[in-house]
Amino acid sequence: MQKRVTACLACIALSGCAGSGEGLDANGRPLEESEGGDVLTANLASIQTHVFTPMCTNCHSGAAAPLGLRLDEGVSYAMLVNAPSVEAPALLRVAPGDPDASYLIHKLEGTAQVGGRMPLNGPALPAETIAVIRQWIAEGAQAPSQDASSSVPSLTAVWPMQRMSSHEHIVVVADRELDATLLAAGTITLRKTDEAAERALVQGLDLPRIELRSQLPTVVAIAPPDGGWARGAYELRISGNAPLAVADLNSRAIDGDGDGIAGGDFVLTFKVEETR
C-alpha cells in the first residue's frame, strides 16, 4: 500500500550545490568501475552508486540535508518514493509507475516550476542517464533487496535528525515488512515534551497523522498537523512492548531499544526550531 511519493535526484533540493561527479565522465555518464563493465542500470542500487552518491550527497546527506531530503545510501528510497515534494506538495518526489508525475524527473529535466535544473550549478545529466531513472520509476520504483539478517525487526529514523522545520514529515523505515494493521492501533504516539506540552493535546498530537508510504520495506511517515508543527521539543514513540507492540509478519516485535532482542519502545526526540 503506497500513498504519496516525492523525489529529488542529483541534488534536487534548491540548495545551490552540485556533487563532485566522482564515478562519472565529463559528460555525466557513469564510468566503468571494473573490467566487467559496471554500468548504470534501472534499479535503485545502481542509481545510488552512479548518481545519488557521487552527485548528490555532498549536499543531500545528514542533518543539514536541504528540504529534509537525504539521498544517502540506505535512506534515499524512504525519502523519495511516495514522499511529497516540499517545493511542490501536490507532487510526489517519486510516483511509482509514473515518471512524468515524479518531481524528481521534473528537476532533472529542468521542467519544474520552482527553482532550477538539478544538479544545481553543475552540468545537466545526459538524456540516457535520466532515461534509466525514468525506467526505474516506470517499473514501479522498487526498493533494493532487503538484508533482514537479524531475527527481529529494527527501525531507523530517516528524518528528522535532531531538528526539522514546521512543515516536514517525520520518516521512519523498517528493515523488513511490518504488520501494517498494528501501525494504526495506537502503537505510535507523538507528544510535546517542553513547556507547551499541554497544548499538544489540543493540536491533536496524541493522534498523529500516519502515512504508510511503502510496505517492503515498511516506510512510515508522520504528517505535520494543519498549520505545521509548533516550535518546541517532541517525542515520537513506537511501541515494542505489551500489551500491543509493532511487529513483522511473523509476529516478531520490533527491537525498539536496539539491544538485539525483541521488545522495547522505539523513541525519537527532536526539536522544531523554525516555522514557514
What average pLDDT does the structure give for the chain? 84
101 in the same domain as 203: no
Provide the pLDDT for residue 7: 34
247 in the same domain as 170: yes
180 in the same domain as 116: no
Adjacency order of strands within the sheet including 163-165? 163-165, 266-274, 232-238, 188-192
Q: Is the peptide bond before 217 cis (omega within 30 degrees of 0)?
A: yes
> What pTM, to 2 d.p., does this model score?
0.81
Cα atoms in the Cβ-side hemisphere of radius 13 Å centred on 149: 1
**Beta-strand pair 232-238/188-192:** antiparallel
Spatial contact of 263 and 245, defined as CB atoms under 8 Å apart: yes
Segment 21-37 mean pLDDT: 45
Provide the pLDDT for residue 13: 37
Residue 214: domain span: 155-274
131 in the same domain as 247: no
pLDDT of 132 strictly over 60: yes
245 in the same domain as 208: yes
CB within 8 Å of 242: residues ≥ 6 apart: none
235 in the same domain as 131: no
168 in the same domain as 129: no
**Beta-strand pair 170-174/163-165:** unpaired
Residues facing residue 140 across a β-bridge: none
179 in the same domain as 118: no
Q: Tell me which of 27-36, 102-111, 227-236 is least confident.
A: 27-36
19 in the same domain as 83: yes
171 in the same domain as 105: no
Residue 217 lies in a domain: yes
3 in the same domain as 140: yes
The model's confidence at residue 226, banded by pLDDT at 50, 70 and 90, is: confident
Could you read off the pLDDT of 180-221 as tens digits, one per residue? 999 988 999 998 888 655 554 444 455 689 999 999 999 999
C-alpha 276/C-alpha 257 separation (Å) is 33
CATH at residue 244: 2.60.40
Last residue of a domain, one of 82, 114, 145: 145
Q: How many domains does the chain have?
A: 2
Provide the pLDDT for residue 206: 57
